[in-house]
Amino acid sequence: MKILQLLLIAALTGACGAAFAQWQWIDKDGRKVFSDRAPPADILDNNILKRPAGRAPGAPPAQDNAGSAEAAAPALPASSSKVATVDKELEAKKRLAADAEVAKRKAEEDRVTKAKVENCARAKQAKTSFDSGVRIARTNAAGEREIMDDAARATEAKRIQGISSTDCQ
């Protein structure tokens, strides 16, 4: 009975070795792929990171008898249709991201343009007030009201003219 158990354990251990036959490669999109099957034919040898024990680089993968129906049919069209679907999805995501970026830039440009129009209107109104010669009062840091003298008016008029020249174009 003990010998039968040892033989069974040895057989199962030998069968588990096939489960460790893992392939690892980098696909054309730069992602790592792990599989128990060999990579497609379009994967270059230098992109194959790990091979099962006993497989030499450049050696054609061995075919399983269990998958003889699969071996007769070419594997490339199935994988290329899967890749084509992934490529279409990736392109759609890229297009959506690009469209979102364009919309974001457009919204920012609209916001800046609106702010310039408002600044221009305020500057024109302030310039009209300063050019009218009416006394203009300001509140100082102490909270007191003071009337602007001619030097302060000239400085403020120059500042308003600068705003008008940049925002009113």
| pLDDT tens digit sequence for 115-154 | 999 999 999 998 888 888 888 888 989 999 999 888 888 8
Please report whether residue 134 resides in a domain.
yes
What number is the average pLDDT over the span 5-25? 69
DSSP lists the bridge partners of residue 139 as 145
Identify the domain containing residue 122 by its residue range. Answer: 107-167
C-alpha dist (Å) from residue 164 to 22, 77, 129, 136? 71, 66, 14, 20
Using the 3D structure, point to which of 11, 38, 53 is the last residue of a domain: 53
Please report whether residue 94 resides in a domain.
no
Please report whether residue 72 resides in a domain.
no
Nearest to 32 by CA among 47, 19, 20: 47
Q: Provide the domain count of the chain.
A: 2
Assign 24 to helix, strand or coil. Answer: strand
- For residue 15, what pLDDT is reported? 58
Helices within the chain (DSSP H only): 2-16, 68-72, 76-132, 150-167
Please report whether residue 28 resides in a domain.
yes
Helices 76-132 and 150-167: angle between axes, nearest 10 degrees? 150
pLDDT digits (tens, 9 = 90+) for 27-77: 888 899 988 888 988 888 888 888 887 666 655 554 444 444 444 444 445
